[in-house]
Amino acid sequence: MSENMTEDSRVLDARYHMPAFGRTMKIVRGAGSRVWDDQGREYIDCVAGIAVCSTGHCHPAVVAAICDQAGRLIHCSNLYYVPNQAELAERLVGLTGLGKAFFSNSGAEANEGAIKLARVRTGRKKFVAFTHGFHGRTCGSLAVTHKPAIREPFEPLSPACTFVEYGDLDGLAEVVDTDTAGIFVEPVQGEAGVMIPPAGFFRGIRDICDDTGALMIVDEVQTGMGRTGKWLATQYTGVTPDIVTLAKGLASGFPIGALIAREGLEFTRSEHGSTFAGGPLACAAALATIDVIEEVLPTIPVKGERFLKGLARHNPRGCGLMIGMSVGDRCPEVQQACARDGVLVNCAADGNLRLIPPLVITDEEIDTAVDVVNAALG
């Protein structure tokens, strides 16, 4: 029976769904840091929906918030004041120290909003971003995403974007000019495989932005909402960006994105909009998520260290609960071996194994995951 389910899904997917994703297993249930596939096999989930399920799977407080709101009002449109939306904006402004928020439904859309905001408020056209950076798959966000294999088939894209080596401040200073609307940067590059920039990089970007009038746009879609041990990874640098974008960990898996900009930098009436963005359910899920993250936030650096210590012989890189290791061509094999032994991990770009578990992962689960990954790496 259960095997037939997998078979059915595979057959239906092959017949009716575009083959844009490579996948093998079907996950049918989750609780905390564990998921189960349709064969009843249990896994410790160090993928967490790609850094999305921050509070773990089906956290009771998040489930209750969604169910409660679903029984009152699911959608009403941004033509009206939306339940939970202003409350969430207030929370995010408080956590980030910025001025005002604007919601979207995904990370890419949050970055689209940032592109529009930077263009309309600076009156400038061009952007600068970094090698191996990832900002999304929509046309605008793809234009500032580096990886040629995913970007070039869709060119010409807008906005025009120049790419500079991640970490290279001299190179950045050379290309930013008075027609640069903004610089897109991740504090730790996630899709690239958890790449941590040199110290002083963010301070240097801030200075270049201050000198030229370009906006500093920090993409915290993956690093934000406690993932690295602070609400924003940028908060480790002492730098205040002009715009921050969020999405992945913000609502425990309910789709939402946000851009938050410094005071005075905002859309005026009719400049931007979205039918679904910042809806009552998404904002309820986000508010409940923030309450849970607030409780576990102080534990995240310690948990991250536990991973790094356990995996030390494989030279892991990490910041909080974002851990990456260069393992090369055998990354897919290692991923499969881990899955066979009950731990889900994922291969980011260029043979980099990535672990981005729920922020509520326990020490025991970390130790088991570390043993399994070590065994798979040999």
Ligand X SMILES: *Cc1c(COP(=O)(O)O)cnc(C)c1O
Rank residues 45 and 219 by Cβ distance to ligand X and give the closer one: 219
CB neighbour class for 283 (10 Å; exposed up to 12, middle 13-18, buried from 19): buried
Q: State the burial class of residue 316 (Cβ atoms within 10 Å of its Cβ: 0-12, 13-18, 19+).
A: buried
- Burial zone of 147 (CB within 10 Å; 0-12 exposed, 13-18 middle, 19+ buried): middle
Q: How far apart are CA 311 and CA 135, in angstroms?
A: 29
Cα separations (Å) of 249 from 48, 189, 223, 309?
9, 15, 8, 25
For ligand X, the closer CB: 49 or 310: 49
Q: Does 127 bind ligand X (CB under 6 A)?
A: no
**For residues 159 and 310, which CB has a smaller minimum distance to ligand X in the complex?**
159
Which residue is nearest to ligand X, using beta carbons?
107
The distance in angstroms from the start CA to the end CA of the chain is 36
Q: Is 222 in the site for ligand X (CB under 6 A)?
A: yes
Q: What is the dihedral of CA 57, 59, 62, 66, to 10 degrees?
A: 70
Q: Considering beta carbons, is residue 293 or 370 the nearer one to ligand X?
A: 293
Q: Does 195 bind ligand X (CB under 6 A)?
A: no
Q: In the window 135-154, what residues touch ligand X (CB under 6 A)?
A: 135-136
Q: Which of 49, 113, 190, 320 binds ligand X (CB under 6 A)?
A: 190
8 A C-beta contact, residue 282 and residue 124: no
Nearer to ligand X, 65 or 247 (CB): 247
Closest approach, Cβ 189 to ligand X, in A, equals: 8
Contact (CB, 8 A) for 245 and 114: yes
Kindly state the smallest distance separating residue 136's Cβ from ligand X, in Å.
Answer: 4
| Residues 228 to 257 in contact with ligand X, rule: CB under 6 A | 247-248
Residue 278 interacts with ligand X (CB under 6 A): yes or no: no
CA distance 33 to 88: 25
Q: Is 219 in the site for ligand X (CB under 6 A)?
A: yes
Binding mask 83-112 for ligand X (x = CB under 6 A): -----------------------xxx--x-
As measured in angstroms, the least distance from the Cβ of 254 to ligand X is 12
- The nearer residue to ligand X, 136 or 320, going by C-beta atoms, is 136
Q: What residues make contact with ligand X under the rule CB under 6 A?
A: 106-108, 111, 134-136, 186, 190-191, 219, 221-222, 247-248
